[in-house]
Structure formats: structure tokens, C-alpha cells
Structure 1
Amino acid sequence: MKRKLAENIVVRHLICLFIFLSALMGHTTYAQGQTETCIGFDSIKAASIEEYIERIATPLIQSQSIVGMGVSVVHCGKIIHLSGHGYADLDNQISVDPSLHLFRVGSVTKAFTFTALMQLVEAGQVKIDANINDYLGDFQIPDGRFGPIKVKDLFTHRTGFEDGAAGYLFERDPKDQISLEAFLKRHQPSRVRQAGSVTSYSNYSVGLAGRIIEIVSGKSYDDYITNHIFAPLEMKSSTALEPNSLIGGGMSPELAARLASVYSVDKQGPELQSFEYIGHVSPAGAISSTPNDMARFMLAIVSSEHPGKFQMLNPITLDQFRTRPYSNRIGATDFAFGLLNGELEGYETLHHRGATLTSFSSMILVPDKQLGVFITTNGARNPLAPHDLAERILTENFLTSGDNERPSVPLQDVSPYTGNYLTNRRSFTKLEKIFYPFAGLVKIKAGENNKLLISGPKVDQGTYRFLGDRKFENTQSGKVIMFESDTGGSMHRFYSTEGHIAYERQSLSSSLTLLFSIFALALVAALTQLVASLIKFKSKVTSSTVWTALGILSPLSVILVVVLFALSLHQLAQFGTEIVYIWPTSFLKILVIAILISIPLWAAQTGRILFYLVKRDLAGKENVIQVSFAFCLVLLILILHEWNMIGFKW
């Protein structure tokens, strides 16, 4: 990507300002001035950033029900803005202080993990193209039919693992936590695609990166991050440890006392929640930090011309860190070495979002302008609110649009791109698979003037116009998606605007329509079979007692399974995100047990019907009922197997 504008404005020296407002106002602001010239620095916009954020913060907090928010902006080697908005503790009306209060940064932690891994690469202790097994000690990831996983595949989330979270990613009680090593061994996901081929965001992969850091350095993850990143950058209010945790001795009491409380937000408003423990896979999301400390981290990445004390990597390694190991998605967002590499108003960006169940963060960097914005919240209705605000701050204050119109490329037919697509960041081999058609399905339809209409719960929805080379641009946000074709030339996959996952054309077997249809057919067939069996029983036209019982019990078991399945879906909807703690739910457990008990009954019933069919010992109407029921039983067993409901695949 090229820088759109070359700017030559020389900056006057600004005086460092620190302004603390009354806690009753729920707002704390600091501004640190620029003290040296910087190509591309706009003093007018920098001086007005405080007024701008003050003006937009209040309506945003109200519209998104944000409890507390911290903001930091860096430019040209300096922290030019720090502010706190709302409350770190809503009940006690304690206002956010951006230098005092620690927020959960969620997956922004991954930026630290990959920075640490890059330090080991710089030191020659880890090789980018090496097999990760070279560094994992006695714990090995089998190459299998998908080939060896390289270190660069960890950086880019191209390891080929399926995804999962329910029941083990977060813990409520720190006593339930295990070590990172034990976590990686106990919860190793299946590999479902070739290593290095397709991007699919993976917490487990980042856990492996953290484990490599531990083994190669000889230090625990939190010790390494503290000594090699936090200490050099003077990030004195940051930690990868958690309060009251047994891992690493836990967060210090001094830092724990400064943690912002966390809240879930729904239609009823904010509700205080307990701490979400993720220290057992700390490299993926455990760091807590202040906006002030995060500003120092941003400076270390974007201020290559002003390294000073804000330095973690030498300039050559830093350039490598900010480039892409894989180059098969030029023009669309993809991973550099751990951070997503995209574009905003024609400028190249590096960014990462973070989310726990309550806390949401976003960090966006513009290296060409030595610019960075970090925003964090401890409760919000929309998890994307910090990211959307960070983009607004950049585009409305620093990144001038200029002539950023892309040429429109005529396209005669968009039908090859239309259809239903399902996220590839999902479980393939476990019962958790049932979530994803509800939460990760994207529908693409043809719109007017050769445009695509894209909708879905976790996608940049809207109208997309064709750019050429299988790329489409959202006409509102300007973000780009890119399609890939299979060996036959059919479009079978596209990458999200964020670039961290792909959406693959939905197969018939993964369709909820098919699943529900088979359940409905099985229910109708079971009811018909049950009525027929009861009539036969009452008329005393029966065979042996065993076959009579089977003819009644097998349809009853189908009815029970269908009812339990419906109750399970209802329970899942009721629990929402809480499901990560209580998986599997009570109805799901009963459902799986019911299926395991029913399978022998269904197999016996199907075998009996086939036996009588071969002997031609069934009457006409009875023949239709029995054969239909057997056919539906076979379909039901197949679809239950497809959705991992046979057996305990938690």
C-alpha cells in the first residue's frame, strides 16, 4: 500500500499538559504536547483532539450504554492525548483515570505475545520457518495429513485448528485454572485444514506461541512479558497476572485495587460482573493495562523514527514485524506478524481488537504517520464501539481523505458470489458445532447495478461494489472483502473485512434447514409409528412382547430426543455468553444421554423392519409406515452424527 499524501508541515514545540477534572463530572483528561518536529504532524488537529473527543464521548457513552472508557492517542513519538470517561466503578461513582485504572484489554494481549515471540526471532532463538515442534519440548503437535505448523503460521493464525471456547476458555473461580502447559495438552483442538493455507483466528494457536516463549526463554509468560516489554517501556501499571489467581502468584494487591469493575450491558442496563479468568491461556487475552501504558506500547511500534526508550525491537526487526509473512491477499486485510494489516483512508494500518465477555478494546496504528489510537471500555452494548470510535478519531482528525475513489470495474454477473457462507472459526468435531450456524452465518445476495448485498450477525453488513480481482468494497465503510475460488473456479470462500477469519460456502450437511427438516420428519414418522403400534397393541394383533415394546419405545425415544433438542436450543438462547462457563448445559447433557440410549433401540427397530421387508411379511399400509419410520431413523442417526450429538464430544 502507498501513502496517499506526503505532508510537510513543521510542528511548533507544545508544552506537556496534565489536567485532572472533578470526579463528579466522570471525566479525566490529560494532553501531552509535541516537543520535536515530525514530518506529517498537524499541530492544529493535535491541539483540537481533546475538544473533539470530549464532544463525541458523551453521546457515544449514552447510545452504547458504555460504563467507563479510556482513550489514548500517540503521534510522532509522543503521547498527545489521554482521557477517561464514565466510571471505573459505577456503584461508587469512581470516574475513570486513564493513568490509574487498569482495564482488561482482551485479545489485544496477542500483540504483546507476538512482540515477545518476535524478540526471540530477533535474538536468533526462534526461526520463522521452523516447525513449532522444534520449540515445544515433549509436547508435540502431530503433523498428520495437514503438514507441519510453522512459527509464522502462529503469527498469522494459519495453523489449521478448529476453534472452541465453551466450558474452558474462561473460568469464574481461579481455583479451576490450570497451567498453560496443561491447558494446551488438555484442550488441543482438531486440525481441519492445511497449515499455512487459510486464516482462522485461534486462541489456542496464540497459547502455543506463549508456550514457545516460556520454553525458549526459560521464564513464565508473565515474567517474560514483564521483564522484556513492560519494564523497558516503563509500563508500570500493566500485568499479565490476574487477581487471586494461583498462576504466577496472582496480580499484586496494588494493581488489583486499581482494576476497573466490569459490567455486562443489556436492555435493562449495566450489571456488575465478576472477574473473567483466562490466565490458563494468558498469552491469548489476560493482560490488564491502563490507556497511559498502552500509549507507550503503541509508541514502541509506530515511532521507529523516535525510538528512544520506547523500543522493543530493532528497526530491521520492527519493519519485519509490520509486514506480512504471506502475500496472497494483497489489497485485502490480512495478518502481519501478529497484528492485522489493513487500510484506512488510503493509509496502511496495523490493528487488533480485544474482547472478554464484558470488556472491549481496540488499538489502531498508522505507522506511516507515526500515529496510534487505543480505546478500552469496561462495559458496552456494542463490542465494536471502541473500534468504531478509534476509526472516527483517525479519519476525522488525522487522515485526510483526498482522492480516495477506487475505479469501478464493470461486472456482468455476481451470481457466482451469492449464497450462504459459514465462518471457518468454528468447531467441526465437537458438540459446540451447533452454535455457529446461528452466530456465524452470512448471506450474500445480488443487488442492483451488479452489487452484492451482505448480511449476517458478525460481518460488515451492507452493499458491496466490485473492485476486480475477486475483491468487493463496502460502499459505506470502504472496507474490502476478498473471495477465493476452488480448483474448479467456483467461489467457495471469502475473507472478512477484518481479515482474521474466512467464511466458507455453507454445505448442505451444515445447514440448519436440513437439520430441522430431518427432526421434523422423524417426529412425524415417530408419531405415526406410535399410533400404529398402539392400535396394533390394543387390537391384540401383535408379535412377541419384545417386538411390541420396541415398536412403542423406539418412536417414544424419537419424540423425547426432538423435545430435548428443542429445549436445549431454548436454554442456549437463554444463557447467551454465559454458556462459556456452564457448558454443556443440563438439557444438552440429558439430550446426549437420551441419544446414546436411543441408538440401540433405533438400530433394532430398523433391523426388525428390514428383516420383515425381506420376508415380505408386512401389509401395505403397515409397510409404508414401518419403512418410512426406518428411513427417518437412518436419516436421524446420520444427521446426529454430522452434528456431533452421538457421544460425549464436549
Structure 2
Amino acid sequence: MRVPERIFAPGTVAAYSNYGAALAGYIVQRVSGEPFDAYVERHITRPLAMPHTTFVQPLPAALAPRMSSGYRLASGGAMPFELMLSPAGGAAATATDIARFMLAHLGRGSLDGVRILQPATASMMHASHHAFDARDNSSSLGWAKFRHNGQGLIGHDGATFYFHSNLVLIPDAGVGIFVAYNSSGNGAEGTIGPVFRAFMDRYFPYAPAPVTAAPLPAGHVPDFSGYYMSSRRGESNLAYLGALFGQTRVVANGDGTIKAGKLLGGPQPAISWRQTAPGFWTDNVGSQARGSTSRCASCSWPGGPARSP
């Protein structure tokens, strides 16, 4: 198994890792002594009565006719079946099956008298395990943990070239939402984000308290100006070109805010960030509307983030 080159010291920078998820699946395969897709079927999908879910690629003959076509554009032709890195991705499922998976997690590992996880294991999976700042979103085991409209949520989104999906659970309310569509369109935010926010505003209305901005320490605004690369990137292959072209430019405004936008990619909404506590920033469109309250570019304080070369 080829190990990717490490580009940051452990514990210093957060980045989602497909390799890490695939490695965890490989460990399951080695310890159990059976292929990962067979393990999932025997321990998860079959006990939960999820007959239309599989990690097998290409799809088994019984499921292939049920597979939705994927589209680069909704107005274009159907694209071939995508082969994905498994088990970091590559599962095919119906919304009905995913609903049963969600109910099992909302039931702390149990559904219809069938238990796939011990309650303590489910609680451990849903708990926060890593965050650079307690006020920020965090990572749990296989889930992202965040807040929206005053609710604590766990979830995970995903995308292939032609499919986009998002699964979100509100454990305390016993509620979940799953959204998926089969074309690139305007990207995941083009459809999934608005549907999720509309759902939350309809069923969990929330009026956040007014945000008061803390003054910026003298001399710190210029430190944030520059060009930034995503921490989720290739460093020693052609994927590095994507990181170069996908850089974010940060500009200091005269009113104590900073503005961030993609270096390339055409017209974009002008999103400004204002410091609301030392090292903590909120966007000008509102953390509730965007679901995104974050430290500036995951920077440290004081001193600001390290700029990309």
C-alpha cells in the first residue's frame, strides 16, 4: 500500500484524508480476515435490512439496473459508472437504505431490535475527538461535529465527479436529513446547502444573539493578507497544480475585517470576516445562514497563518 508523503507535522494542521479513511477500512479487512465490502454487508447492511446498498464495484448484477446515471451537467448525456477509492468512497445506496442507517445511529446502534453497535461505541463515534479550538467545529469518528440553528449536529458529505450527497443527524432531536443528486451542476453548495438550511430554518428556527466584534490588535491586520492553499492537497504530484490554482486570497479591509475569495474561478460572493473573539472570526453573512463560524484560515493567534510560498 503506497503511503502518501506527509507535508505537515502531526497535530498541527487539519485536513480531510481519503487515504486515512481507506486505511481504516483496510485495517478492518486485515483484522476481520474478510474483504471490506463483505464485512459491511455481513455486519451492517444485511442486519439493518439495507438490500440496495453495496461497496462492490462495479455493481452486482442484481443492483446494476437500479443504479441512477450520473451527469456532468443535467443538460448533458449520462456518464459511465464511476470507480472510486474504497472504502473512503464508492458505496452505492438508496435513500431508503440510508434512512435505516441514520435511524440506527439515532438509536445508538440499534434499529428494529437489531444492534450493529454497542451504545458506548455509538456514543464514542458521535463524540468530539479533535478540535484546534473548542469554539470551532470538531471531528468525531467518521463524522464531522458542528452546530447550526442552536442544534448540535453530526454529519458527513461526499462527492464524486457526478454525484453529491450530505447526511446530517441531530441526535438530541432524533432527526436526520439526507440529500443527494446525480449531476455536478453548480457544485454541492448549489443544491445541498440551501436544502439543508431551509430544512433547519423550517423545523428548528433560531434567532442568534447579536454578534459584537472585538477590536483587532494593532498591527495584526496586514499579517493576514496573502495567498493560502488548502491543507487538503497533493504536494508531490500533479494534484499540486490544483492546489496552486485553487488558492484563496485574503485582503485586509479598512474597517478591521478581512475579505477572502478564490484566486480563480470567476465572480464570487464577497465574504468578509470579522473577529468576534481573539483568534475567532465570523463571516458577514451570518454563521447561521452559512453554517460557518471559523477561525481565520485555521490560523494561530497571535502571528497569523503561514502563507503559502
When normalised by structure 2's length, the TM-score is 0.87
TM-superposed deviation, 1:448:
4.8
Match of 2:29 in 1: 214
How far apart in 1 are the matches of 2:61 and 2:52?
A: 12
After superposition, give the CA deviation of every residue in 1:358-415 in whole Å (9 maximum; x if it has no partner): 1111111111211111011111412213431342243222212034433432335533
Q: Aligned with 2:242: secondary structure?
A: helix
TM-superposed deviation, 1:286:
0.8
Change (3 A) 1:233 1:342: same
1:490 lines up with 2:303 in the alignment = yes
Contact 1:362 1:390 in 2 (8 A): no
Match of 2:222 in 1: 415
Change (3 A) 1:460 1:277: farther
After superposition, give the CA deviation of every residue in 1:606-636 in whole Å (9 maximum; x if it has no partner): xxxxxxxxxxxxxxxxxxxxxxxxxxxxxxx
Match of 1:450 in 2: 256
1:360 lines up with 2:164 in the alignment = yes
Contact 2:155 2:168 in 1 (8 A): yes
Aligned residues: 297
Counterpart of 1:422 in structure 2: which amino acid?
A: M
Contact 1:232 1:309 in 2 (8 A): no
How far apart in 1 are the matches of 2:193 and 2:56?
A: 29
After superposition, give the CA deviation of every residue in 1:45-79 in whole Å (9 maximum; x if it has no partner): xxxxxxxxxxxxxxxxxxxxxxxxxxxxxxxxxxx
CA RMSD, 1 decimal: 2.4
Counterpart of 1:322 in structure 2: which amino acid?
A: H
How far apart in 1 are the matches of 2:138 and 2:213?
A: 23
Contact 2:163 2:183 in 1 (8 A): yes
How far apart in 1 are the matches of 2:109 and 2:308?
A: 47
Contact 2:154 2:169 in 1 (8 A): yes
How far apart in 2 are the matches of 1:204 and 1:262?
A: 24
Which consecutive residues of structure 1, in runs of 5 or more, have no partner in the other structure?
1-184, 244-250, 493-503, 508-650
Change (3 A) 1:407 1:477: closer
Q: Aligned with 2:100: secondary structure?
A: helix
How far apart in 1 are the matches of 2:111 and 2:79?
A: 40
TM-superposed deviation, 1:209:
0.7
* Structure 1 residue corresponding to 2:142, chosen from 327, 338, 344: 338
Higher relative contact order (CA 8 A, sep 6+): 1
After superposition, give the CA deviation of every residue in 1:549-583 in whole Å (9 maximum; x if it has no partner): xxxxxxxxxxxxxxxxxxxxxxxxxxxxxxxxxxx
Match of 2:293 in 1: 480
How far apart in 2 are the matches of 1:389 and 1:462?
A: 17
Contact 2:109 2:117 in 1 (8 A): no
Alignment of 1:61-460 (within 5 A): 185=1, 187-243=2-58, 251-265=59-73, 269-278=75-84, 281-304=85-108, 307-309=111-113, 311-384=115-188, 385-411=190-216, 413=218, 414-439=221-246, 441-456=247-262
TM-superposed deviation, 1:463:
1.6
Change (3 A) 1:466 1:224: same
Contact 1:263 1:270 in 2 (8 A): yes
Q: If you compute each CA radius of gyration, which structure gives the higher value, 1 or 2?
A: 1
How far apart in 2 are the matches of 1:375 and 1:436?
A: 28
How far apart in 1 are the matches of 2:107 and 2:195?
A: 19
Tell me which protein shows more helix as a share of its residues: 1
Q: Aligned with 1:411: secondary structure?
A: coil
When normalised by structure 1's length, the TM-score is 0.43
Change (3 A) 1:406 1:217: farther
Contact 1:412 1:450 in 2 (8 A): no
Counterpart of 1:464 in structure 2: which amino acid?
A: W
Change (3 A) 1:461 1:292: farther
Provide the identity percentage: 25
Change (3 A) 1:310 1:302: farther
Change (3 A) 1:222 1:260: same
How far apart in 2 are the matches of 1:311 and 1:194?
A: 39
Q: Aligned with 1:423: secondary structure?
A: coil
